[in-house]
Amino acid sequence: SFCSINQIKSTDLNHEPQHLPHVPEMIKHPNIVSLEDIFESKSHLYLIMQLVSGGELFDRIIEKGFYTEKDASKLIQQILDAVKYLHDMGIVHRDLKPENLLYYSMDEDSKIMISDFGLSKIEGSGSVMSTACGTPGYVAPEVLAQKPYSKAVDCWSIGVISYILLCGYPPFYDENDAKLFEQILKAEYEFDSPYWDDISDSAKDFIVHLMEKDSNTRYTCDQALLHPWIAGDTALDKNIHESVSAQIKKNFAKSKWKQAFNATAVIRHMRRLQLSTGGEAPNPSLPGEYPPHLLMAEEGAGSSRRVSVPPNR
């Protein structure tokens, strides 16, 4: 089987809280990209990740000639199943967004996979999370309000993703971050005409229950999985591809995602690794059984470095 290999410098791993000890090895779910193995050299770590080759969520939707509410419902059901699994383990993802949703293969009926656990955290008994993190536009009101928060932040994000999957544009948008945050804090969003005219009331009801300002009354994954739009037959078969794909192209074309993991942040979470930070050679070779062309090149700077496969290699 093939894998994706992420390379990171060990010197980048010593300055942030280790939120998620042992979790990458613990997580085994058909809709979650797994960490297969880790190799450590004197100056670098190599994450051996499960390879997902089916492409990005939005690209696949655009490429389809036919796309319906039922297709969106099936996608969201898989995401809910995976996030319920995490929540049952006491894990909060905290950064669910379309960029972190990848198709497993190029097959027409390929499953969707959740990736990137760089901001994930285990809920401790008696502890609350309050660190402001996540991606603007997908983050829950309580996070922006710097209030204690819990698993409900992931359910809000799934609501936002559901909204986008049915119309092709985000529920909250403003060039000014302060105004964007104000919209989110007030949970101010609309089902605009004409984009939502052909979308079922059931779909809108599903979204309203997830994008609920009050985290205490917001749907949990368990509740969302029982909603008729997911568990029943209320998701429509009407083709909405033309409208949704046009809006995706218009609203998301400039944010072409990187498929790579935030490898540095994942590794920071793993307490068991004692890392060397000496002045070793900066470019160690990969263990021989993994071909050099699979090695991912570093790009960008700073401690939250992402890696991606270099072209033509």
Q: Is the peptide bond before 141 cis (omega within 30 degrees of 0)?
A: no
Torsion sign (Cα): 6, 9, 12, 14 = positive
C-alpha to C-alpha distance for 58 and 215, rounded to whole angstroms: 28
Amino acid present at 9: K
Q: Length of the chain, please?
A: 313
Q: Which residue from 280, 309, 293, 301 is spatially nearest to 45, judged by alpha carbons?
A: 280
Give the chain's end-to-end CA distance (angstroms, integer). Answer: 19
Strand partners, 38: 47
Q: Checking phi first, is residue 55 left (phi over 0); if not, alpha (psi -120 to 50) or beta?
A: left
User: Rounded CA gap, 166 and 69, in Å?
Assistant: 7
Tokens linked to 12: 């980048």
Q: Tell me the C-alpha to C-alpha distance, in Å, between residue 282 and each of 5, 7, 78, 236, 275.
A: 17, 11, 40, 55, 14
* CA separation for the pair 203, 298 (Å, rounded): 41
Dihedral over Cα of 167, 170, 172, 173: its sign: negative
| Whether residue 95 lies in the annotated active site | yes
Which is the catalytic residue, given 12, 71, 95, 116?
95
Q: What are phi and psi of 38, to 5 degrees?
A: -135, 135
Measured distance CA(60)–CA(72) in Å, rounded: 12
- Whether 66 contacts 148, CB under 8 Å: no
CA-wise closest residue to 189 among 220, 215, 219, 210: 210
Question: Mind telling me the catalytic residues?
Answer: 95
